A and B are shown apart, each in its own frame.
Chain A
């Protein structure tokens, strides 16, 4: 190191130093990093149980230095419920994609939220089934072409894209619910704040914590990473507004 060099950034201790398996420009990696930083800053890593789900992010356990178990497709909130009920003193969080959470696992996420399970869910919405090759997801946008709606999603046939953060915020057990994006530095900072809040409501026993990430899937969107990032700003945020939809900590203040 040159004497004039100053360390301004260092990866979280909770992150494993290894090459990524995600595609270039995929924001799963950024979301992982935020989760790792929050675990570290709150001192949770050594007391955490991570629930991995199905999809491109199934390998989250390869990137975080935490105990982990793999859940069947969509069932992460149920697995997390079991883990938390078995060991209420552990910090339990799950990481799910949109096919996983908003389609096959809709019952599990709604009921875990409604029961107010003391767990935290990181939900990555990239409007597509990534791992299986870009099929339509419940969050696919109107007009967006996928391999199973090649002419573009059509409201008449396929329904409107589901706004999960809005839905989850309506459920009684939800203590914190926000939607974030990681398309620019400012939003990344806000995303981290939201994840921290979601973790804190679990720590304080206040209820269920949920953070929806709007994220890119350049591969299945058939876009460059830069264009994919632009799509977040121009198409996704207008339909999936960012912000905090529920914050029980604020209500209690």
Chain B
């Protein structure tokens, strides 16, 4: 994908997501207000009509996600965004879209939970995002940006991936990413081919009618459908993405994603300056999870510390990845708090000194 017409803007992560989606050719947005992601629908309510698209403030998250389902069935680039409690309500439609093999982009600027929780940052929706979240056996492609620039770049890719796999794609950010401001270099992908002509609903003129559904009642039909879906989730593993920083000679590798990954990077940089052999491994795709790359580091004898803004979720995936060679320690940053790089020095130094 070539980058044209670079323009520098200074925006919040939420706005970066919205600018990126617009550049990606998103033409329908369905939303419902919830902090800390309101800048996304607010931006879209103005920008989309100007771009010839449609914005609807739905009556609920349930309705917004089902509007997304309807637009997706018509082969249109469409999206919704929300934050944790709202994403829970969208799970109904997400399961149906996964079952119906529909491309859609969903953004979760997550906040503290469970329940109403608070509006502070948290990574407590890791399980919900990567394990399905709604009912049934399905997976979303889950992408976790750490900077405003990444938020812009990755949502453009999210639309391509959604259509490539005919599957919902989730951008998992948090209140830190949504609310912080950074310079972003804008770029526009040069056209895209969504290959939707073969399945989209646009009236059956000159062809047999098409049906998009997730109900399979005939004997064995659902089993067959699920095997097709599973094969697709396997194929998605080709999209795995991660960042490594100072891992080569590291004795301890810290595994952290999204905003926490970025904050830990600063901690690692400062510890390195003082001669400590520590590195960072930052998964960018949470599904597919970069298990193989982690296993390779484990095979080299490295030790691991997973740091998350929750009480221990991704650490399960890290342990599964490294289990043949070792294990991972875990440090919890309590949800709803706003950590800085110094907060992670003690837990990292403890693990470095130990064993």
A residues sitting closer than 8 Å to B (CB atoms) are 45-49, 51-52, 58, 61, 64-72, 75, 78-87, 90-91, 107-108, 110-111, 115
Contact = CB atoms under 8 A, between A and B. Distances in A.
Contact of B215 (A46, A47, A70): A70
Contacts of A52: 213
Nearest to A88: B54
B57 to A, nearest CB: 10
B352 interface: no
B66 A79 contact: yes
28 contacts: A46-B204, A46-B205, A52-B213, A61-B211, A61-B213, A65-B204, A66-B204, A67-B201, A67-B211, A68-B211, A68-B213, A69-B69, A69-B73, A70-B96, A70-B213, A70-B215, A71-B70, A71-B96, A75-B92, A79-B73, A82-B72, A82-B78, A83-B71, A83-B74, A86-B71, A87-B74, A87-B202, A115-B56
B93 interface: yes
B212 A70 contact: yes
B59 interface: yes
Contact of B67 (A58, A65, A69, A78): A78
A72 B96 contact: yes
A81 B203 contact: no
Contacts of B64: 78
Interface of B: 27-28, 30, 54, 56, 58-60, 62-64, 66-76, 78, 92-93, 96, 100, 201-206, 209-215
Contacts of A111: 58-59, 63
B202 A108 contact: no
Contacts of A85: 28, 54, 56, 67, 70-71
B56 A75 contact: no
B63 to A, nearest CB: 4
A35 B202 CA distance: 19
Nearest to A65: B209
A71 B66 contact: yes
Nearest to A66: B209
A111 B62 CA distance: 12
A22 B49 CA distance: 44
Among B54, B211, B214, the most chain A Cβ lie within 10 Å of the Cβ of B211
Contacts of B213: 52, 61, 68-70
Contacts of B73: 49, 69, 79, 82-83
A65 to B, nearest CB: 5
Contacts of B28: 82, 85-86
A87 B60 CA distance: 22
A98 B72 CA distance: 26
B67 A79 contact: yes
A79 B59 contact: no
Nearest to B59: A111
Contact of A86 (B62, B66, B74): B74
Contact of A107 (B59, B76, B215): B59
Contacts of B62: 75, 78, 107-108
Given A68-B201, A69-B201, A78 B66 contact: yes
A69 B212 contact: yes
Contact of A82 (B30, B100, B210, B214): B30
Contacts of A47: 203, 205
Contact of A69 (B63, B100, B203, B204): B100
Given A69-B100, A70-B213, A86-B27, A78 B70 contact: yes
Nearest to B29: A85
For the complex of A and B, list the 9 residue pairs with the smallest distance between their C-beta atoms, beginning with the closest. Answer: A82-B70, A82-B67, A78-B66, A86-B71, A79-B70, A83-B70, A86-B76, A46-B205, A111-B59
B141 to A, nearest CB: 21
A91 B74 CA distance: 12
Contact of B204 (A45, A79, A80, A108): A45
